[in-house]
Each structure stands twice: as C-alpha cells, then as structure tokens.
Amino acid sequence: MGKKLIITEKPSVARDLARALGKFSNKKEYLENEQYVISWAVGHLVTLAEPEDYNKKWKMWRLALLPVIPDTFKLKAISDTKERLKVIKKWMASDEVEAVVNACDAGREGELIFRNIYQNTGCEKHVFRLWLSSMTVPAIREAFEKLKPGDEFDRLGAAARCRSEGDWLVGINGTRVFTARFKVLLSVGRVQTPTLAILVEREREVQNFTPVPYWEVFAEFRAEEETYIGKWTAKEDRVYKEEEASSLVAKVEGKEGKVDEFSDRKSREAHPLLYDLTELQRDANRRYGFSARRTLHAAQRLYEGHKVITYPRTDSRYLSKDLGSQVEKCWKMLGQCGFSEITRTSFKRRSALADRRVFNSSKIRDHHAIIPTGEKINWDSLKADEYKVMDLIAKRFLSAFLPDAVWAHRRIKTVVENEVFLSRSKVLEEAGWRAAYGEKPLTAGKEFLPVVRESEKVITERSWSEHKETKPPPRYTEATLLSAMEAAGRFVEEEELREALKSSGIGTPATRASIIERLIEVGYVEREGKTLFPAPKGMELIGLVERIPVPELASPQLTGEWEKKLSQIESGHCERKQFMENIKRLTVEMVEKVKEKEDTGEREKMNQPVGKCPLCGAPVLENRSAFGCSRWKEGCSFTLWKRVLSRQITRVQARKLVETGRTDKISGFRSKKGRRFSARLVLQDEGKIGFEFDAPVRSQEANQKGKKPKKTGRSDKKKNLQVEGRETQGKEKEKRES
C-alpha cells in the first residue's frame, strides 16, 4: 500500500502534524515514515502569471495595449520558492505516493494555495482534504480520522480561483490604465480602493466641518443632606446663544425647585461575544495601539508556535456544541494558569451549552470563534505582543461563562422656575462577567445619585454654564476602520448587495490587515499613532475615480456583488464561467472610461514631493520604481529605489529619510544569502544610501563572566553599508557594498 503525501501551508504545521501522527524521519526538505510523507509550502509557491508571460508586448504599460485579458489564465512558480516546489513536485510524481492530502489552512485561500501547486505540478493523484481548527495533538488525530474527498471542496476551489483571477483583471488593468493615462504610479484594486474611499469621505467631512459654538447649563441641588448635579434640557440639552445661557443661569440661581420624577432601576448586561479575528484586532488596537497586522502576527504565533489558541483567521464568534468538553478543559486549564480567582466556581456545562450567545452552530461557516485550546499556557515563554493578545483571548473566553453584569440606574428630573434639569447615574452593582477584566462593584460615592422622593423640595445651591463647540467626526483608527470594512454594507444602497456585504464586508478577517498596510505602502494613507488619514495622493485618486466616473472602484458595491456571487459559486447556485465573463466585461468598460478622460493636471496634484533632495534641494518625486530628484535631467543623481534587498520602501519611509537623514528601523530586508535582517536606511556622502545596524546587546551571562557573547555574524559596532539600485532591461536590481 502506497503512502499519502501531506502538503501543509507552512513548515511549522508540517512539524505539528508529524508530532501527532507518529515517529517521522527528518529529511530536511520533508518528513517521512511508513504511512506518510509530509512536505510544505511557504504560503503561495505558485501564482498567476504576469502579463508579459503571455505576450512580451504586454510588458509595456501603454494605453493602446489595454485591456490585458488572457484567454486562459496561466500559473507560474514564484522565483524565490522554486526549490521548494521541486521537492513537492518530486513526491507528487513518486510511485511511492498513492494519494495527496491537502493540509493547507482550512478556507478559501488555503484551498487556492494547494490547488495552484497541484495544477502546476501536473499531478493527477487522488486528493483528500484535512480541515483543522486547532493545532493540538487530539484535534489533529481526530481530523485525520475524518479526511474528506478533495472533490467535495471543488466549489470552494472554484470560488477561490474566481476571486484570484478577478482581482488580477481589475488590479492589473486598473493600475496600468490609470498610471499610463495620468503619468503617475496609481495602484488600483477592487478591495483597496473602496477602503481608501471610506477614509477619504471621512477626511472630507473633517475638512469641510465648521464648528458651531453652544452652551450647556448645569445646576447643583441640595435635597436634605445630599447634593446632586442636573443638566438643563428642553427639546435639546444645549443653547446656541451665550445670552440665553446666562439668562437660564440667573433664572434658577438660589431658587427653590422640586423633584418631579425619581427612578431607581437595575439592568443586566450580557457578556460580549467571543472573538473573531476582526474583533480581536479592534480590541488590541483600542487597548494597546496594535496595528491589525501586528495582532494577526501575534495570534498566528500563538496558534502555530505555542498551540494555545484555535485557528485565528476566523470570521465567526460562536462555538458548536460538540466543543463542550474542550471548553470545560479550557476553563480548568485557565484556573491553573493565573485565573484561579475567576474559575473558583465549577464550570456549569449544561447552562453554558444553552447560551446561544456562545454555542450556535448556525453562525459557523468554516471555523468557530477564537478560544484557548486547553493546552497549558507558559506565560513566561510568550513575547510581549503574544502575552497581551493571549491575555485578551483568555479573558474574553472566561467572560463568556460568567453571569451577567448588573448595573444600578438612577434618574432624577428636577424642575426649577419651570426649567427642567435631568440627572443620571449608572453604577456597576454586580461585576458578573466584568470580573474577568478586574472590575469591581461600586454602589456609593459621587458617581451614584442619592435617593430622593418625588415632590421633594430642593434648593439650587449654584448654577453655571459651560461653553463648548461641536466637533467633527473623528478620523478613523485601525479599530474603527476595521469596523467600517466589516460593516461596509451600510455604504451600499441596494438592499440585496447590502445583505451580501453584511456577512462579508470589504476583504476578509485574514486580509484586512494587509489591505491597510498596502494603502500605507503605496502612499495613499498615513498612520500617526492610532490615527489613519488619507495622504494628498489618496485624496486625489478617489476624486479622479469619481470624476471619470468609475463608481464601482470607489464603492463597496463591487465587493458586495463579488461576495454574493462567490458565495453562490460555493453553494452551487452560480457558475464560474458566468462570473468571469461579468468581470471581463467590467474590466473592458473601466479601461475605456479611463482612456477617454482628459488629463486636467491630475499628475501634478498627485505627485506631491516627499521632501527636498539632499544634494541640490529640488523636490524629490515618486515614479513607478523609485523616489528620485526632479532635476535628474540636469544631472542630479539622488535616487531611492522602491525595492531594496527584497523590501518595499514606503512613501512615509522615503520622506523620513530625506527629511531627517535616516528612517526608523525597517524589518524584512533579505541578504544575497537569503538571510532576513532589520536595519535603518541612512543618507551618506554624495546622497548615497546605506544601512545602519544596532549594536548587539551583550548577554548578562557573558557580562558576568567577562566574556564576549558568541558571534552572530554582525560586528558589535554600528555598520553602514552602501546600497545602490539601478534598472537593467526594465528590471530593478539592488547592489550592496561594504
């Protein structure tokens, strides 16, 4: 009997499967035992071919050559990962292998990664699908006992291909036609452009906002031995003339009033829903200022590396009832890992399973909510980001199985000289689920209104007014932008499309972080602390899209239509061919509209300088491949290539370099030997650009012994390495010199 070849999305997952499935020999490029061979991708090994791979003339970004629409889409191996693909291809062709197991991430993108590899290698062997939501050993073994035929996921694969090919058509043609027409690099896409439009619309509201002054009137009342403060209200709780506010203050000052109404009631607050990825990213941004990408990276390490949380790239906030025993295990584990005070009461499994805010299988599509796996958490082994994200997940999980929080509400309506003043207080009486976050009841003090009787006489001890102004709507943070992307249906007028977006929004939980980072990378959006706001280039692009007009690009409507159709493809109610014909027609219409638009100075408006040239002081402008001096025709040589040692340099980083002489530390550079490293880019003599490395920190142990730490391949002094870039036959090359 032949072996099964297991293909995972990442090397770490391959090692996890090997630990669960028995003893394996490590052959460096694969793992093997008598039943299985396990090999791995590193994300996408195969992608859609570039336009020039179909026809050499399509390498040129010319209006006359657009639109680019291949008859049949081709695949190509990604150059950096060809050796990895060879290993998989060899085993797929091997006579020792009788079947292949798709063990890539359970979802649309994981399905696409595997199917592209399978197609590119020409394999025709039978395929099974492994569907995992947890990386614990029991979960892996159980999933292998329930392997499903790969063809059961053909509709999911078809939807994945449609999404990939559709984005290629709109992205390639949109970016090329806008860039060629207006002579400035303009990246356009189905997902990133409507996301940018959301930010631009808010920025317009902020810029066009005119503050309106107003006054609020307050009074402090004495009822027997107690005092309380009330706020004047009529149809509104404010007045727009200072004289009117002063008149109200004088009218009630020192006067007697009475309690017209008094209410004392309690309300119950149910626990929040469990985390999906978007809510986790929102919470981490609100509490810690984490970017969406930073939260995702920490969660992925907790899932793959530490095995302490379930699959993080989920869009569900519910659990299925068959997870009851795992939930109980998690409760007990957390009691042993720092939460004994919260878990001192025994877990009530029956009542927990009856809670539809936790257990609701109808709200789960691919994966359930993010929860701990039940494996013991070694807090000391977690890095700072991992610690904070794990703490959030643990507390959210615990809160779901604690009682409701109880709030005490008091409301007093006081009438003085026929003027009405309202007083309200809301105080936590029983912490309930809020105890998981360290909150405690507070039923006394200034925050709580006193008990008064209706018709009781009160004296106005003092009154005053406060001058305020209306405020513009706040700019988006990553937390609020993620919410807007998730609820993008509210930006769409058509009800059916709004409903389609209700369940999907713009992007997916797994891709929204990269969408935001992409907008920053191409210079459309800037980040300042937690706040995101569109750069001038981003503002101009959306204005241009609206003027042409190409409304589909600037509205979530296109995404809504796609998500609706992709869901129908997955369910068998729409054909892949029909979907792709519609996308091709849309692409042709978009290209023709842009070609017809006259250039009325858009290039100058968009290509704002990133700063002054360090050599001659002229503006530094952006083009398709670099940030360079605008006086290059006069011989100024200053150039910062956009791609340096495999790392994309953003507009924000370019501006920092030319303004201050150095960037912040940038991660993701790759040396000629393939090693990744972090460094700052710095300006050197004659406008050349180099690397600056931090000195390695001597370990405490080495310092105690008076010895130097082991060499790590870097000098313990800062080094500056010169980097130059130039284009040869249309391709960028980077060169590093000592």
Residues marked active site are found at 311
Q: What is the dihedral of CA 244, 245, 248, 252, to 10 degrees?
A: -160
DSSP 8-state class, residue 338: T
List Cβ<8 Å contacts ≥24 apart for 713-717: 713/675
DSSP state for residue 182 in the 8-state scheme: H
β-strands 531-534, 525-528 pairing: antiparallel
Collapsed DSSP state (helix, strand, coil) of residue 5: strand
The residues facing 679 across adjacent strands are 666
Distances (CA, A) of 98 to 9, 91, 152: 21, 10, 19
CA-based nearest residue to 88, from 132, 144, 31:
31
Q: Which helix (H) or strand (E) holds 148?
A: strand 148-149
- C-beta of residue 88 within 8 angstroms of C-beta of residue 121: yes
What does the buried/exposed string (b/e) look like for 380-401 if buried means 16 or more CB atoms within 10 Å of the residue's CB? eebeebbbbbbbbbbbbbbbbb
Smallest CA-to-CA distance from 566 within 158, 73, 272 is with 158
Q: Which residues contact 193 (CB under 8 A, 6 or more apart)?
A: 174, 541, 542, 545, 553, 554
Report which of 422, 423, 427 is spatially closest to residue 408, judged by C-alpha positions.
427
Measured N-to-C along each axis, helices 384-399 and 324-335 cross at an angle, to the nearest 10 degrees, of 120
Q: Looking at the chain, how many residues does it have?
A: 738
Q: In whole angstroms, what is the distance from residue 429 CA to residue 211 CA?
A: 39
Q: In what order do the strands lie in the sheet with 689-692?
A: 666-670, 676-683, 689-692, 720-728, 731-737
Q: Report the alpha-carbon distance of residue 469 to residue 465 in Å, rounded.
A: 13
Only one residue has tokens 């997916």, namely 508
CB atoms within 10 A of CB 38: 26
Q: What is the Cα 684 distance to its own chain's centre?
A: 36
DSSP code of residue 724:
E
